[in-house]
Structure 1
Amino acid sequence: MSQRPYVLLSVATSVDGAIDDTTPSRLLLSNADDFDRVDQVRADSDAILIGAGTIRADNPRLLVNSEQRRTERVRAGKPAFPLKVTVTASGDVEPDWKFWHHGGEKLVYTTDSGAALAAERLGELAEVVTLGPNVDFGALLDDLGKRGIQQLMVEGGGQIHTAFLSQGLADEIHLAIAPLVVGDAKAPRFLGPAEYPGGSTRRMRLLDARTIGDVVLVRYAPKETSEKAER
């Protein structure tokens, strides 16, 4: 059986935990140096995953922007761009999204009921894979493992992050905290209500904490507790 990829959740939030505000334009939480760090993490990953709802809201290209990093990937025998992955239960995707028209290969995970719609709309733009009657994130990781994906970078949104973390599928969290407050109860958050492994008393192991300009980056290992690290 193929090994599942190492799952890294990457997110930037405001001080009050929002990943965006409710205005039509995207809220830029990171600074230039932190965006460059994210670009490096993308270059180090074999695949990048983002939910279809986030694509609909932000219309990102989701690329490795540095030409030098793309060149280094090719020299290492990898594609210039990581595999781009999205998830949609309904299959409600649009062929004009920038996501499909930039970078390398694209992969859509959906359900039995959403597969036909996604395939009809996308045609040759992406490979469509069904995960069964529901979106099964464990099956998704199994399939990526069979494709040789060793590191999966997950860039959101909140429902996707919540699913990976609550199901015990995340190996590492990169949490960049920006020095601003959104203050809107309707703003999307990094995580939603769910039953997380260990509940509120389980402390994750801190891997690193550092400043990047006015942003603080915190790295956690969700599967490892601080108590275990101390023994």
Structure 2
Amino acid sequence: MTARPYVLLSAAMSVDGYLDDTSPDRLRLSNAEDFDRVDQVRAESDAILIGANTMRLDNPRLLVNSEERRAKRVADGKPAYPLKVTITASGDLSADLKFWHFGGAKLVITVDSAVEKVRTTLGGLADVVSVGPQMGWGLVLDELGRRGVERLMVEGGGTIHTQLMAQDLADEVHLAIAPLLVGQPKAARFLGAADFPGGSTARMRVLEVRPIGDVVLIRYAPKERS
């Protein structure tokens, strides 16, 4: 049986738990030092995953920006960039998004009913694979494992973070806490409501806490609950 990847959730959020505000412009939560840390985590990953909705809203390139880190990946026998992955059940993607036009290989994981739609939309911009009639995170991780992905970095959005945490599939969580308060109920949050393993009293193990400028990084091991 193919091993599933080690799943690392990465997010920057405000003190009150928001990933963004409701303005048209992306809220900058991290600082330059923390963006560099994220770049290092990306460089250490075999694949980076974001949801299709996050891709549509933020239009990220999702790259390893450091030339030195890309060179080290190549020296280690890896592609210069990690595999970029998105998932979609609807197949509603645009070929104009930056995600497809920067970096290395791209993969879309979808369902049977949408696979031809995605292939028609993207042409040769990405590999497209279906996991069957319905989307399931176990199926997604199995597919990535078959493709040799050992370490998966998940950069959102909140719905995906919530699902992976609720299904006890996240091995590690990196939270960069910015000294900001958003206070807008309609803004995106790191986690939504869910039945999380162990309930409200289960405490995750802390792996690390350190300041990075005015941001605080907290690393958790969510499967190690007590």
Tell me the TM-score normalized by structure 1: 0.96
1:180 aligns with 2:203: no
Q: CA deviation at 1:2?
A: 1.1
Q: Over the residues paired in the alignment, what is the CA RMSD in angstroms?
A: 0.7
Count of residues in correspondence between the two structures: 226
Task: Give the secondary-structure state (helix, strand or coil) at the position aligned to 2:123.
Answer: helix
Q: Does 1:32 align with 2:32?
A: yes
Name the residue aligned to 2:3.
Answer: 3
> 4+ residue stretches of structure 1 with deviation over 6 A?
none
Matched, 1:193 2:196: no
The 5 Å alignment of 1:57-206 reads 57-206=57-206
What residue in structure 2 maps to residue 46 of structure 1? Answer: 46
Alpha-carbon offset, residue 133 of structure 1:
2.1
**Superposed CA offset, 1:25-58 (max 9, x none):** 1111000000000000000000000001011001
Deviations 1:140-175 (A, max 9, x none): 111111111110000000111111111111000000
3-state DSSP class of the match of 1:36? helix
Q: Secondary structure at the match of 2:86?
A: strand
Unaligned runs of 5+ in 1: none
Identity of paired residues, percent? 67
Give the Cα–Cα distance (whole angstroms) in 2 for the partners of residues 11 and 135 of structure 1: 23
- Corresponding residue SS for 1:99: helix
1:196 aligned partner, one-letter code: F
Letter in 1 for 2:69: R
Higher helix share: 1
Which residue of 2 is the match for residue 211 of structure 1? Answer: 211
For residues 58-107 of structure 1, the C-alpha deviation after alignment (integer angstroms, 9 at most, x for no partner) is 10000000000000000000000000000111010000000000000000
Aligned to 2:12: 12
Q: Cα distance, 1:200 vs. partner? A: 0.6
Alignment partners' CA distance in 2, 1:148 and 1:86: 17
CA distance, structure 2, for counterparts of residue 136 and residue 106 of structure 1: 20
Distance in 2 (CA, whole Å) between partners of 1:210 and 1:145 is 32
What's the TM-score once normalised by structure 2's chain length? 0.99
Q: Distance in 2 between matches of 1:201 and 1:132?
A: 36
| Structure 1 position 201, deviation (Å) | 1.1
